[in-house]
Amino acid sequence: MSGGRAAALLLVGVLIGGISGGATAAYLTYRAAQSPSQPAINVGLPIATPPPAASGTADEEIVGVVQDLLPSVVTVINYASNGQPQSSGSGFVVDAAKGYVITNNHVVEDTRTSGAGASFDVVFSNDKKTSAKLIGRDPFTDVAVLQVAAQGLKAATLANSDEVPVGALTVAIGSPLGEFQNTVTHGIVSAKGRRVAETSQVILEDLIQTDAPINPGNSGGPLLWAATHQVIGVNTLGVTQATGINFAVSSNTVRQIADEIIANGRVVRGYIGIQYSPITPRQAAQLGLPTGTIGIIVSQVVPGSPAEQSGIQVNDIITKVNDQVIDADHPLSSLLVKNRPGDKVKLTLIRGGKEMTVDVILGQPAQ
């Protein structure tokens, strides 16, 4: 989202429980129950062909896409270690042959910790229920991949989200409140390329904004381009106190992250090797820095890390990454979200009152 720091902080304050459209508190009832220097990983999630021209009325397009892809959409049930359902959300099959299901990271998280739930089930549109294995998850893009037995599945296709035009007719399918399975809503693509603060340290990038209603429990379900029957995003959050402002992680982001998760079980991002905290106005004044100086102050440099090899020192004040200012809207973790080990980043820092730049070759964090 591009409204500046005040707007971002306001948006954080009005997200439903931090994440609107997120996993519901419990499954209420069960009826019948990149970087340029690293090649892209592709383990089989297909790249959509250019979309055909739209035909038919809007009603016909909506009915057609629902009839086609409803069997691909699932309800995801997240169980605590005691075996009790602790939350639920939505998801969709993206690979019928291998049984891969896409959902949101916050759908599979333990509701009391930052870890994952103990076990998972998925419920298909025909009320068939089966267990699912968590392949991996990425909190920084809110994407997770589950796997189910590959028996009679129907997959949805990830579109090239760059191709969907603003104003295109969209359809969202999911299980709001964990109760109303197979719920269909529709709207349009309201905007593209939005960035929204999910937490103080996680800024979701390249979001598709839609006015298709998204409610708690819809998270992880597909946002569909009605004209092409393709997934353009994964519904992830909405805004309370505002009507028709909802967001989905773009399908291009989902494809990249899901491929990495399937290949490696996780997404490995570039590692600098420092501990730090935001610099306060009082610290800036004590160090004789200009009023309004923002950034992070280094409290520890990990021995042998890329930071140490690049000459970064304790008490250095890092203000920019690749000329992007580090602030509340752009925390360090968000600025490095697309970087991988081996990438070179330029850090702007202040040392002894003097500004300088340092190039850092990112490493790989210890597992």
Q: Could you tell me the mean pLDDT of each successive run of 10 residues in the chain, 367 residues long? A: 36 39 42 37 62 68 94 96 93 96 95 91 94 95 95 94 95 86 93 84 88 88 95 86 85 95 92 92 85 91 94 94 89 87 95 93 84
User: Taking the domains of the chain in order of start, what are their residue ranges?
Assistant: 4-264, 274-361
Determine whether 35 is exposed, middle or buried from the number of CB atoms within 10 Å of its CB (0-12, 13-18, 19+).
Answer: middle
Give catalytic residues, as residue numbers. 106, 142, 219
What is the number of residues in the chain? 367
CATH topology of domain 4-264: Thrombin, subunit H (2.40.10)
Distance in angstroms (rounded) separating the CA atoms of residues 273 and 298:
10
Classify 274-361 by CATH class.
Answer: mainly beta
Q: What is the pTM of this model?
A: 0.78
Let me know the angle formed at the C-alpha of 235 by 231 and 238, rounded to the nearest 5 degrees: 145
CA of residue 237 relative to chain centroid, distance: 10
The pLDDT assigned to 43 comes to 56
Q: Give the chain's end-to-end CA distance (angstroms, integer).
A: 32
Per-state percent for the chain, helix, strand, coil, to nearest 5: 20, 35, 45
Distance in angstroms (rounded) separating the CA atoms of residues 216 and 275:
35
Distance in angstroms (rounded) separating the CA atoms of residues 24 and 107:
8
The pLDDT assigned to 9 comes to 32
Asked if residues 229 and 71 have their Cβ atoms less than 8 Å apart, the reply is no
Helical spans, DSSP H, in the chain:
4-14, 58-69, 105-108, 251-264, 281-286, 306-309, 332-335
Closest CA to 221 of 234, 208, 232, 210: 234
39: Cβ contacts below 8 Å, ≥ 6 apart: none
The pLDDT assigned to 230 comes to 96
What DSSP character marks residue 83? S
The pLDDT assigned to 281 comes to 86
